[in-house]
């Protein structure tokens, strides 16, 4: 069965451009972004991996490790990484899994046979430090993902975990957030949100972003 939000992210051992990886050990206490792409030496994938490399500091600031995957082999990955570095003016600083035997692709349901029988689609999973799946997105091969959106979702998830708030539609860092509906105790709310809040409706309570 396909993975769902809240499921334990399956552990695996697989080769990568940076050697053999035991996934849960490799994640350690970090958040993780595991993302697949259809193939090495393809244009959209080249830009995506270049973008991810350039966002290294943004991922690190949030305690996130990135790891890519395709069904191509380690030597192909290594050659392609040189191309990515040259063409995208960056240094790929994360591993690319070499999933030739489709072990990880199958565990994470990254092959959608009606789209392509053998290649992975653009799947992406955000995994939290408890190894729970917190975001699943799937894009078609022809559309590169927006990695700023991935960072935005991670910011939202971390705000929820740390401050009991959720983020409204189109929320951007610094905008007001909403107090989660499960929080009802006025005394707790006053303590948690010293900047106050505005109840537009009893169920819609806006408060300044707590970590700003």
Beta strands (DSSP E) in the chain are 13-14, 21-22, 31-36, 64-70, 96-98, 122-127, 133-139, 165-166, 177-179, 198-201, 204-207
Active site residues per annotation: 45
Instruction: Tell me how far apart the alpha carbons of residues 73 and 111 are, in angstroms, rounded to a whole number.
Output: 17
- Given strand 96-98, what is the order of strands in its sheet? 96-98, 64-70, 31-36, 122-127, 133-139
Cβ at position 116, least distance to ligand BEZ in Å: 8
Please select the residue that binds ligand BEZ; options are 45, 71, 126, 154, rule is CB under 6 A. 45
What is the greatest pairwise CA distance in the chain?
59
Nearer to ligand BEZ, 142 or 182 (CB): 142
Site for ligand BEZ contains 71 (CB under 6 A): no
Please select the residue that binds ligand BEZ; options are 34, 111, 141, 165, rule is CB under 6 A. 141
Site for ligand BEZ contains 43 (CB under 6 A): yes
Cβ at position 141, least distance to ligand BEZ in Å: 4
Q: Which of residues 142-181 bind ligand BEZ (CB under 6 A)?
A: 142
Site for ligand BEZ contains 42 (CB under 6 A): yes
The whole-angstrom distance between residue 123's C-alpha and the CA centroid of its chain comes to: 10
Residues of this chain that interact with ligand BEZ (CB under 6 A) are 38, 42-45, 141-142
């Amino acid at each position: 069965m396909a993975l769902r939000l809240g499921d334990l992210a399956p552990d695996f051992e697989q080769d990568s451009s940076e050697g053999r990886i035991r996934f849960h050990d490799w994640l350690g206490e970090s958040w993780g972004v595991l993302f697949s792409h259809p193939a090495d030496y393809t244009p959209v994938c080249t830009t995506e991996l270049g973008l991810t490399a350039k966002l290294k500091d943004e991922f690190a600031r949030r305690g996130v490790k990135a790891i890519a995957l395709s069904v191509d082999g380690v030597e192909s990955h290594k050659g392609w990484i040189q191309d990515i570095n040259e063409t995208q003016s960056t240094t790929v600083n994360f591993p690319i899994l070499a999933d030739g035997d489709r072990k990880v692709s199958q565990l994470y349901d990254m092959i959608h046979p009606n789209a392509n029988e053998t290649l992975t689609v653009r799947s992406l999973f955000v995994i939290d430090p408890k190894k729970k799946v917190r975001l699943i997105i799937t894009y078609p091969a022809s559309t590169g993902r927006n990695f700023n959106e991935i960072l935005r979702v991670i910011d939202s998830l971390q705000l929820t975990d740390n401050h009991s708030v959720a983020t409204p539609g189109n929320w951007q860092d610094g905008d007001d957030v909403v107090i989660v509906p499960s929080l009802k105790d006025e005394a707790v709310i006053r303590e948690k949100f010293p900047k106050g809040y505005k109840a537009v409706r009893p169920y819609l309570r806006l408060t300044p972003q707590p970590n700003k």
